[in-house]
Chains A and B, each alone.
Chain A
Amino acid sequence: EAQVTQNPRYLITVTGKKLTVTCSQNMNHEYMSWYRQDPGLGLRQIYYSMNVEVTDKGDVPEGYKVSRKEKRNFPLILESPSPNQTSLYFCASSRGLRGEKLFFGSGTQLSVL
C-alpha cells in the first residue's frame, strides 16, 4: 500500500532535549516536505526536499533541521525544542513539484514542556 509513515504519532518532551521525528515513503517520490499545523494558522511549511541531498527552507524553518540521505526518508530534527514548537507536524511527499497530489503522513502531535 502506498503510504507516508510518520513516527511517533504522539510525543511529549522537555525543553532542550533533542528529538527526531521520522518520515518514510514507499512510492519512490522525489519531493518530500514537512509542515506544522497550529490552530487558526493552517499548515505552514518548515522544510522541503526536491531529491536526495537537496533541501530548502520553507516559511518557518527556525529551530528545525532536516536531512535527505536516502530518497525514501526525510527526518525532522529539533536539536533544542522549545514550547513554541508544540504543534501538529505532517510529513508529505509527491512524485514531483508541479501540481502533483501530496500524500500526507498521519501526523505527529508534539508537546514541549
Chain B
Amino acid sequence: AQTVTQSQPEMSVQEAETVTLSCTYDTSESDYYLFWYKQPPSRQMILVIRQEAYKQQNATENRFSVNFQKAAKSFSLKISDSQLGDAAMYFCAYRSALYSGGGADGLTFGKGTHLIIQP
C-alpha cells in the first residue's frame, strides 16, 4: 500500500515571502498522479496543483509550483509571494494510475500541513 508523509505539521511564513511544504511518498508503482489540495477555514477542499509522474516537467499554477523528484519520491509545494489568503491546511495526495479492484482505489492523503501567514 502507498503511504504519503508530510513531515511538517505546521509552517509559518511572513506575507510576501516564499515557503516550501514537504511531501514524500512510498510506492512501487511507476505510473501515478500527485496532488496538492488546500483546505481553508471554510473546510472546502480546493485543488492547488496536479502532477503526472511520467512528466518530468514540474507543474506550476501562478504562484504555486512543485519540485517533483521521482527517484527520491518527493513532491514539495512552493508558494511564492505568500498572501494572507494562502493560510490553510495543505494536503499532499497520491493516486495510483492502476485500479486493481476489490480494495481501496489507490488515493492516499498525507496528514496535512497547517500553513500560517504572518502579516
List A residues at the B interface (Cβ < 8 Å): 33, 35, 40-45, 48, 50, 56-59, 88, 90, 92, 97-99, 101-102, 104, 106-107
Contacts and interface: CB of A to CB of B under 8 A. Distances in A.
Contacts of B16: none
B109 A59 contact: no
Contacts of A44: 109
Q: How extensive is the interface on chain B, given as a class?
A: 20 to 34
A102 B43 contact: no
Interface string B47-77: 1001010000000000000000000000000
A58 B43 contact: no
Given A43-B109, A48-B105, 10 more contacts: A40-B111, A42-B109, A42-B112, A59-B104, A88-B43, A98-B97, A99-B33, A101-B35, A101-B50, A104-B44
A107 B43 contact: yes
A98 B106 CA distance: 10
Contact of B44 (A59, A98, A106): A106
What 4 pairs between A and B have smallest CB-CB spacing? A99-B33, A104-B45, A42-B111, A43-B109
Interface in B72-100: 91, 95, 97, 99
Contacts of A90: 45
A59 B102 CA distance: 11
Q: Interface majority SS on B: helix, strand, loop or mixed? A: loop
Interface of B: 4, 9, 32-33, 35, 42-45, 47, 50, 52, 91, 95, 97, 99, 101-105, 107, 109-112
A10 to B, nearest CB: 11
A8 to B, nearest CB: 14
Contacts of A102: 35, 45, 47, 107
Contact of B110 (A35, A42, A58): A42
A92 B109 CA distance: 14
B105 A97 contact: yes
A33 B105 contact: yes
A42 B91 contact: yes
B104 A41 contact: no
A58 B52 CA distance: 23
